[in-house]
Amino acid sequence: MIKAKLFKIYQVIIQIFIYPTFFLTLYAAIRSDQLNPATVSHPLFVLILCMIVVLSIFWIHRRTVWQVVHVSYTKVREHAGIFICLSMILAALIQVIILLNTNTPLGWDVGSVVTVAIDPSIGSNYVSINPNNLFLISFYHSLYALFVSPATSTANAWLFFQFVTVIGLDLSVFFLIYAVKSMFNLDVALMTYFIFYALFVFTPYIQAPYSDVAVLFPVSLTLVCLTLLDKKQHLWTKFALAFATAVLTAIVFATKPSAIIIVIAWIIDKLVCEFLVNDSTGRSQRILIVLCVALGFVGANRILSDVTTTYTPIKIEKNQALPWQHFAYMGLTGNGGYNDKIKGDTLKLKETAKMRIYSLNGISRRLHELGIVGYLQFLTAKQMNNTARGDFTWGVDGIPLQPFRKAKGSFQNRIRSLYLVGGSHTSDLSFCFQVIWILSLIGIMLSLFLFSRDGNEWSRILFLTIVGGFLYLLLFEGGRSRYLIQYLPALVPLAAWGWSTGIQAVEKYSHKGQQIGSQIEKTNN
């Protein structure tokens, strides 16, 4: 009885954190400027009006439309593998067309990462200050040295790294779908595919070879290993999967440290369930597997760090790295995001120890200025800034840069107007992504209601991941939705679970209503 109450408290704690933060996200997304129809182009506005008319007609004939959709979905479900493969081939072709027609460098950290990956001899200063990008840069440089000629132009070098980004993104889709099928069922997996396809497969971030997108591949592969751990019964198979999970988690951490929250959530939930839900039979074996993942990660991370530092072609100066306190300090100022002045003042101190003291003093001063109520107000606004936009604040970082080559024809101009930073029609793309983002959030809202009633183990883990991700972005540098990309493997499956279960419930009650209506009609006759 006590264990059951403690487990209930554990679930309630998750809900206490997720409800206010999530509904702030939904509110911010609905009131976002990206939904303003006055900012879109005339053709898109006309298309929106036509879609409203079409949807109205569909609603009038909703029974017929529902039957057509149901039959079509049944066919897709029967041939899910073929459908996914063919649609992803189409997506890859479209992605290649986009990249070939944009082929533009980016500023901010993306530009630095690509530049250093091409020529590591100039990367000492950047990597010494930002060692968190050392693994990604070293990995990119290894691929560049292996597949690209040194005589390759800068334009083609950028194109190569963008193709690498697309390949990683598309592979992550396959692994995520496989993992979600194991977590829930085929229907949720297909819904996950539909949502991810619409929300992110054609994102402008395919142009950005950086950790935000790069981390999705190892995260999705890690989820596959974690779901297989639950399925496999043979002890040595479990140990092999635990080892693979530990190594992949180390790769995730080396690519983007905050993305390992999903593994931390899995460990927490496993341990809580072990002591509050599961019976004692086989407990030592299950705990041993969890410890293998946790301790294996510690060991793998140390080895990966040492190997990367030893074999990287980049010379790293010690005691110049920005401390984590710096990012916490930036996360307390302005809109909670990047602060150029704070970074400049911090870097003037040269040494990490001095930077740490400066940042801690700044954090203390800022908290004193805000007070308790002011800090809560700040966090409320920051949560909205962190999660509002479905285009993941494309174009906010960096400044518009010129493409490597001049546009040839109206088709290329149109693609560039949609996808380049500062493009004349980026608002069209943002509007579409915002609509899809709001629909995704509605799905998560449905899954929240389901969670309190019949949530399974993986719904708890995914919600716990979102709680951890939200808290991390509230405490450290955030201020824009780009940092949510790393948590899409948790957000999208929950949206899919909500929509899939909700649609099935509507279908079930609709069928019951038809049966009752038929019985009443028979009785009257």
Residue 422: the pLDDT is 85
User: Computed from CA positions of residues 347, 351, 354, 355, in that sequence, does the dihedral angle turn out positive or negative?
Assistant: positive
312 lies in which domain range?
A: 1-321+387-524
Residue 277: the pLDDT is 78
Query: Would the pLDDT of 335 be above 60?
Result: yes
Helices 488-524, 154-183: crossing angle, 10 deg rounding: 50
Greatest pairwise CA separation for the chain in angstroms = 90
What percent of the chain has a predicted confidence (pLDDT) above 90? 67
Query: Under a CB-based contact definition with an 8 Å cutoff, are residues 144 and 160 in contact?
Result: yes
pLDDT band at 3 (very low <50, low <70, confident <90, very high): confident
CB contact at 8 A, 386 and 474:
yes
Q: Rounded to 5 degrees, what are φ and ψ at 308? A: -60, -45
Contacts of 3 (CB under 8 A, 6+ apart): 275, 276, 277
C-beta of residue 159 within 8 angstroms of C-beta of residue 101:
no
- 440-459 tens-digit pLDDT: 999 999 999 888 776 688 99
Do the beta carbons of residue 403 and residue 420 sit within 8 Å? yes
pLDDT reading at 17 higher than 80: yes
Residue 428, Cα to own-chain centre: how many angstroms? 22
Specify if 402 maps to a domain.
yes
Residue 376 scores a pLDDT above 70? yes
Could you give the CA distance from residue 150 to residue 121 in angstroms, rounded to a whole number?
14
**CB contact at 8 A, 157 and 114:** yes
Average pLDDT over residues 460-488: 94
- Output the DSSP codes for 81-148: HHHHHHHHHHHHHHHHHHHHHH-----HHHHHHHHHHH-GGG-HHHHHH-GGGHHHHHHHHHHHHHHS
- The confidence score (pLDDT) of residue 522 equals 60
Closest CA to 388 of 35, 85, 112: 35
523 compared with 290, residue with greater pLDDT: 290
Domain membership of residue 495 (yes or no) is yes
176-214 confidence digits (pLDDT tens): 999 999 999 999 999 999 999 999 999 999 999 999 999
Domain assignment of residue 441, yes or no: yes
Is 129 a domain residue?
A: yes
What's the pLDDT score for residue 22?
A: 93
Q: Is residue 264 part of a domain?
A: yes
Q: Where are the alpha helices (DSSP H) in 232-282?
A: 235-255, 261-276
**pLDDT surpasses 90 at 467:** yes
Confidence of residue 515 (pLDDT cuts 50, 70, 90): low
Give the mean model confidence (pLDDT) for residues 78-106.
Answer: 94
Please tell me the distance from the alpha carbon of residue 276 to that of residue 73, in angstroms, as a whole number.
40
Tens digits of residue pLDDT in 407-417? 888 899 999 99
Residue 351 lies in a domain: no
Using only the alpha carbons of the chain, give its radius of gyration: 25
Question: What is the pLDDT at residue 510?
Answer: 64
Whether the per-residue pLDDT at 360 is higher than 60: the answer is: yes
Q: How far apart are CA 238 and CA 298, in angstroms?
A: 18
> 375-414 burial by CB neighbour count: b if 16+ within 10 A, else e?
eeebbeebbbbbbbbbbbbbbbbbeeeeeeeeeeeeebee
Number of domains the chain is built from? 1
What confidence score (pLDDT) does residue 164 get?
96
Please compute the mean of the pLDDT values over residues 464-482 and round it to a whole number: 93
pLDDT tens string 48-79: 999 999 999 999 988 888 888 888 989 999 99
Mean confidence (pLDDT) of the chain? 90
Which of 267-276, 400-409, 483-492 has the least mean pLDDT? 400-409
Average pLDDT over residues 422-437: 92
Q: How far apart are CA 208 and CA 251, in angstroms?
A: 19
Lowest-pLDDT range of 5-14, 275-284, 351-360, 486-495: 275-284
Residue 340 included in any domain:
no
Has residue 304 been placed in a domain? yes
Average of pLDDT values for 343-347?
A: 91
Q: What is the mean pLDDT of residues 483-488?
A: 95
Give the mean model confidence (pLDDT) for residues 251-276: 94
